[in-house]
Amino acid sequence: MKGWDYSPALESTSHVEIKKRYELYINGEWVKPASKKYFKTINPANEEVLAEVAHANEKDVDKAVKAARKAYDEVWSKISPAERAKYIFRIARLMQERSREFAVVESLDAGKTIRESRDVDVPLACNHFFYHAGWADKLEFAFPNRKIESIGVAGQIIPWNFPLLMAAWKIAPALATGNTVVLKPAETTPLTALKLAEIIHDSGLPPGVVNIVTGYGDTGAAIVNHKDVDKIAFTGSTGVGKIIQKAIAGTNKKATLELGGKSANIIMDDAPIDQAVEGVINGIFFNQGHVCCAGSRLFIQEGVVDTVIEKLKHRMKSLIVGNPLDKNTDIGAINSKEQLDIINGYLKIGEKEGAEMYQSPCDLPSSGYYCPPTLVMNLAQSSRLVQEEIFGPVLAIQTFRTIDEVIQKANNTPYGLAAGVWTDKGSRIFNLTTKLRAGVIWANTYNKFDPTSPFGGYKESGFGREGGLHGLEGYLKMN
């Protein structure tokens, strides 16, 4: 069976303005980079250039940090928490008003489907600002009997998988707790952070409270190494997380790191299978597998292996891979050529290892970076496809007999970001959730996010939490 044929349902781009060139947003102004350098950001769905973006160097970062420090000392640490809340609410509302535009720009720059950017990324980003605006003047109730203080200047570095949402995760709690910000979006997806800078400007936020500097890893490193930055909040690869930890060792900088994952989705033999299959599909193919907590390892209990695999393949046949702006598309473009090469490299390793592979028989567009959803089976526990984060629509399937066995196998990874458990029995859920070493564990669902729930990892998936009360702690000094 192939999926239904749908007529194209393209989201309009006519209401979206993308400038030819973006400068750095420092101290409430758009300034040219001291580096005099710009880089291109492209649409991974068709390889067309969307805009040129400034590449900040150390001097530019220094300017941004100085602006953030001045804003902290002279304004942001002095105004009342209720005033802070007003600005954050205003940012949330302005973002909501321009949500269609944000969704389209996110899909153009990141390759993610319009359905996701419209229904997941943008509403969640707005909700993070709304949620944190509510906390700004209630922090003393959040942490009763503790003396709390803001930290100062937060340097924030984010990846390309949820560009706007990650910016919201970082900026909203920092502002609510009274800190100022220098944020760097990822080099392949800078546009929605720059649009956010426009909104921040329109909100009347005092100059220097939020500064957005664009660039590559060197720009990120300049933020990490700047002497006057008090806290680093980073989301990205475990490799870069380790570099950052080394760089700040022995300094006074606080840090929260949200790093990679190789999360286990576990289907027990008593699970509601159709629901579980849909959850597994959502867990790994959602956002092209570009999700740090993607359910990239599937464990199926032996009695239901054949049924689950058959249903998975059946469902995969109806997934539509293609233009991210088409509302029918389930799986959009891989974020960059580099990432597509990484994913294809892993598929080659799987072939060499003699893994059994299944790819859905879908048509791929002739230009742009695409990868069909893929299952890999018959893998050894030591296989790199089981151990390493692929960050693409590739699901490694393993089987198990007993609960003890699956706990042991699921925990046998350097990571510990998330896990999913599918079963009819509450007692099994409680048993597994206490024994799986992962920061977030979903039961009979997957990839559910909410600003009120803390998110973060165990082991090499990082430390510190974002969201909820726990997320506020990362931006406060507490006595």
For tokens 């008593």, the residue is 270
Binding segment for ligand ADP (CB under 6 A), chosen from 124-132, 236-244, 295-303, 365-373, is 236-244
Q: Say whether residue 110 binds ligand ADP (CB under 6 A).
A: no
Using CB under 6 A as the binding rule, whether residue 429 contacts ligand ADP is answered as: no
- Whether 74 is catalytic: no
Q: Is 292 tagged catalytic?
A: yes
Q: Is 186 in the site for ligand ADP (CB under 6 A)?
A: yes
Distance CA 260, CA 291 (A): 9
**Closer by beta carbon to ligand ADP, 100 or else 384:** 384
Residue with Cβ nearer ligand ADP (108 or 158): 158
DSSP structure string for 67-85:
HHHHHIIIIITTS-HHHHH
Q: Of 140-148, 218-226, 365-373, 404-412, which segment contacts ligand ADP by CB under 6 A?
A: 218-226
What share of residues in the chain are helix, strand, coil (percent, to 5)? 40, 20, 40
Q: Of residues 3, 81, 207, 217, which one binds ligand ADP by CB under 6 A?
A: 217
Closer by beta carbon to ligand ADP, 39 or else 458: 39
- Contact letters for ligand ADP, residues 240-279 (x by CB under 6 A): x--xx-----------------------------------
Helix (H/G/I), strand (E/B), else coil: 478: strand
Q: Is the Cβ–Cβ distance between 45 and 365 less than 8 Å?
A: yes
State the burial class of residue 14 (Cβ atoms within 10 Å of its Cβ: 0-12, 13-18, 19+).
Answer: exposed
> Contact letters (x/-) for ligand ADP, 33-62, by CB under 6 A?
------------------------------
Alpha carbons 109 and 336: distance in angstroms, whole number: 10
C-alpha 265/C-alpha 419 separation (Å) is 6
Catalytic residue (choose from 106, 258, 460, 473): 258
CB 334 within 8 A of CB 343: yes
| 55 or 66: CB nearest ligand ADP | 55
Q: Which run of H or E residues covers position 377?
A: strand 374-377
**Number of residues this chain uses to bind ligand ADP (CB under 6 A):** 17
Q: CA-CA distance, 236 to 223, in Å (whole number)?
A: 15
Residue 404, number of CB atoms within 10 A of its CB: 10
Handedness of CA 431, 437, 440, 443 (dihedral sign): negative
Catalytic residue among 292, 293, 362, 371: 292
**237 forms part of the interface with ligand ADP (CB under 6 A):** yes
- Whichever of 129 and 162 has its CB closer to ligand ADP, that residue is 162
* Site for ligand ADP contains 184 (CB under 6 A): yes
- From 42-50, 52-60, 193-201, 220-228, give the range in contact with ligand ADP by CB under 6 A: 220-228
To the nearest whole angstrom, how small is the minimum distance from the Cβ of residue 467 to ligand ADP? 19
Q: Does 293 bind ligand ADP (CB under 6 A)?
A: no
Q: Which single residue is written with the structure tokens 């003396």?
A: 147
Q: Toward ligand ADP, which CB reaches closer, 159 or 471?
A: 159
Q: Which is nearer to ligand ADP, 217 or 414 (CB)?
A: 217
Is residue 159 close enough to count as binding ligand ADP by CB under 6 A?
yes
163 near ligand ADP (CB under 6 A): no
DSSP string over 16-36 = ----SEE-EEETTEEE--TT-
Q: Which residues contact 195 (CB under 8 A, 6 or more apart)?
A: 98, 101, 102, 105, 164
Instruction: Select 142 or 243, whichever has its Cβ closest to ligand ADP.
Output: 243
In the complex, minimum distance from the CB of residue 16 to ligand ADP, in angstroms, rounded to a whole number = 23
Angle (deg, nearest 10), helices 99-110 and 81-97: 70
* Options 11-19, 94-102, 124-132, 158-166: segment touching ligand ADP (CB under 6 A): 158-166
Residue 470, token pair as written in the block: 């726990």
Q: Helix or strand or coil: residue 310?
A: helix
What is the contact surface with ligand ADP in residues (CB under 6 A)? 157-160, 184, 186-187, 216-217, 220-221, 224, 236-237, 240, 243-244
User: Which residues participate in catalysis according to the annotation?
Assistant: 258, 292
